[in-house]
């Protein structure tokens, strides 16, 4: 007999259709059976478990398209289990992990390993982005067709840029055979080499070598020329500069098949948050200036930036509690993705539906995830998040479920929090406090 759960007195939010109304939703095993504002007007079915949400928001589970999980090779920083637990606590029901593991995800067996471990953990859905080049060395292309058949949802060298234009040209050309998504880390390596933070007055004052914003836009402009010639699907990861947003905006207007994402630290922080050598604010690309931050918000508002990803990059204390120049790049973000994005809504910089679209259906569509992920759909996967839109709280990294604690948002007051996370109709996380 099917297990049925009725979620009552919810604020139904579906960014894919613009639905924002009080109502109810019924799950039946792993699927959404029905939902709507008039559902259960005469009472919920007797055979269904009833959950009264008391006006809380009920939306599709978040889809995070950029996560480093550590496993295999760096299990001391994060594992698929701990990343899944952190994701569930943040309202994320599906994530796409990067290939920068050890060994990298550049073979069919490595893609199958990720899928097998996700099935064993049985929390959130974990998809793999495969390496674009063998061993992430930027020289020889991987067997993209075979990796796609094995389940790879995109191809990227992760935290490394594909520097060789000829290699990128071949990758884009080959990807058109299967209409695959190519994801680029937008940083021209020779311009960024040795850089620690954004180039400018603050870097000079701190005595740190800077990374010019030109490193980002030059790489994107080069690739866009190749994309126009090939007709391939091309995605720019974690956009951070005003110039990059403008270049992508113009390319979209010309009909180029380009999309992009950003991460919360690029619209919630600036280079001033590096402060006195705060290694937890050391990221790649680096935190930029205030005008860049504003441009990121504008890009989200007008749709130039398609998605918001956590860019979750866990590091242990030995990698971060060292001198700034020696510290690893990256911050964790799975458990702060939702509240930081909702911060733009509270400031009236972004409509709620636009914010949720960038966290749900848009990344799911970019990765072409199955079973109608990222949206409320009758017959679709019952992957849902219940969240309190206005609940205030203070970030406490020590309480995060992630194995690593390298958050630049520690002790920051925020509002909005996942209360319950549901995957395939099963509650995988419920906040007790």
On whether the CB atoms of residues 154 and 367 are closer than 8 A, the answer is: yes
Cα(399)–Cα(391) distance, rounded to whole angstroms? 17
| Res. 125: pLDDT tops 80 | yes
| Res. 432: pLDDT tops 90 | no
Pair of tokens at residue 15: 């960014």
- 170 DSSP 8-state letter: H
Class of domain 61-367: alpha beta
Cβ atoms within 10 Å of 1's Cβ, excluding its own: 5
Residue range 376-413, pLDDT digits in tens: 999 999 999 999 999 999 999 999 999 999 999 999 99
**Dihedral sign, Cα of residue 49, residue 55, residue 60, residue 61:** negative
Could you please report the per-residue DSSP string of 41-80?
TT---TTSEEEE-TT-EEEEPEEEEEE---TTT-TTT--H
Nearest to 70 by CA among 49, 50, 85: 85
Residue range 283-337, pLDDT digits in tens: 999 999 999 999 999 999 999 999 999 999 999 999 999 999 999 999 999 999 9
Pair of tokens at residue 159: 């935290």
On whether the CB atoms of residues 259 and 306 are closer than 8 A, the answer is: yes
| Res. 58: pLDDT tops 80 | yes
Residue range 186-226, pLDDT digits in tens: 999 999 999 999 999 999 999 999 999 999 999 999 999 99
| Res. 112: pLDDT tops 90 | yes
CATH superfamily of 4-58+381-401+411-430: Urease, subunit C, domain 1 (2.30.40.10)
Pair of tokens at residue 97: 């992990």
Strand 258-262, strand 31-36: pairing: unpaired
The secondary structure element, H or E, covering residue 147 is helix 144-150
Entry pTM: 0.96
Axis-axis angle for helices 352-359, 290-301 (nearest 10):
90
Residue range 153-188, pLDDT digits in tens: 999 999 999 999 999 999 999 999 999 999 999 999
* Percent above pLDDT 70 for the chain: 100
For residue 162, give the 3-state DSSP assignment.
coil
- Known catalytic residues are 311
pLDDT averaged over every residue in the chain:
96
The backbone torsions φ and ψ at residue 248, rounded to the nearest 5 degrees and listed phi first, read: -70, -40
Cα(116)–Cα(374) distance, rounded to whole angstroms? 22
Cα(89)–Cα(385) distance, rounded to whole angstroms? 10
Domain coordinates of the chain in residue numbers? 4-58+381-401+411-430, 61-367
């Amino acid at each position: 007999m099917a297990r049925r759960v009725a979620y009552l007195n919810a604020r139904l939010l579906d960014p894919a259709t613009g639905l924002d109304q009080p109502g109810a939703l019924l799950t039946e095993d792993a699927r959404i059976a029905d939902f709507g504002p008039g559902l259960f007007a005469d009472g919920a079915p007797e055979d269904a478990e009833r959950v009264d949400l008391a006006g809380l928001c009920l939306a599709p589970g978040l889809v995070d398209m950029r996560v480093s999980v550590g496993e295999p090779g760096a299990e001391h920083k994060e594992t698929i289990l701990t990343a899944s637990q952190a994701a569930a606590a943040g309202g994320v029901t599906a994530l796409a992990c990067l290939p920068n593991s050890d060994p990298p995800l550049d073979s069919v067996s490595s893609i199958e390993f990720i899928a097998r471990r996700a099935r064993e953990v049985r929390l959130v859905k974990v998809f793999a982005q495969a390496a674009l080049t063998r061993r992430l060395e930027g020289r020889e292309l991987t067997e993209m067709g075979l990796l796609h058949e094995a389940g790879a949802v995109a191809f990227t060298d992760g935290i490394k840029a594909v520097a060789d234009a000829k290699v990128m040209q071949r990758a884009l050309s080959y990807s058109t055979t299967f209409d695959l998504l190519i994801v680029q880390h937008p940083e021209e390596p020779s311009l960024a080499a040795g850089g620690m933070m954004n180039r400018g007055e603050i870097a000079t004052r701190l005595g740190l070598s800077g990374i010019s914003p030109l490193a980002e836009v030059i790489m994107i402009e080069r690739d866009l020329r190749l994309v126009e010639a090939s007709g391939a699907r091309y995605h720019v990861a974690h956009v951070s500069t005003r110039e990059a947003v403008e270049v992508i905006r113009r390319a979209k207007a010309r009909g180029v098949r380009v999309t992009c994402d950003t991460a919360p630290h690029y619209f919630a922080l600036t280079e001033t948050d590096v402060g006195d050598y705060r290694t937890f604010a050391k990221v790649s690309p680096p935190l930029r200036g205030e005008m860049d931050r504003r441009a990121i918000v504008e890009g989200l508002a007008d749709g130039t930036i398609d998605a918001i990803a956590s860019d979750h990059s866990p590091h242990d204390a030995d990698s971060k509690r060292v001198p700034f120049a020696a510290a690893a790049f990256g911050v964790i973000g799975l458990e702060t993705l939702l509240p930081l994005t909702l911060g733009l809504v509270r400031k009236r910089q972004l409509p709620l539906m636009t914010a949720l679209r960038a966290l749900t259906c848009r990344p799911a569509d970019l990765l072409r995830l199955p079973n109608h992920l990222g949206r409320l759909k009758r017959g679709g996967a019952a992957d849902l998040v219940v969240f309190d839109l206005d609940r205030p709280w203070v970030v406490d990294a020590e309480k995060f479920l992630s194995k690593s604690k390298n958050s630049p948002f520690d002790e920051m007051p925020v509002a909005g929090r996942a209360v319950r996370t549901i995957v395939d109709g099963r509650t995988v996380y419920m906040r007790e406090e």
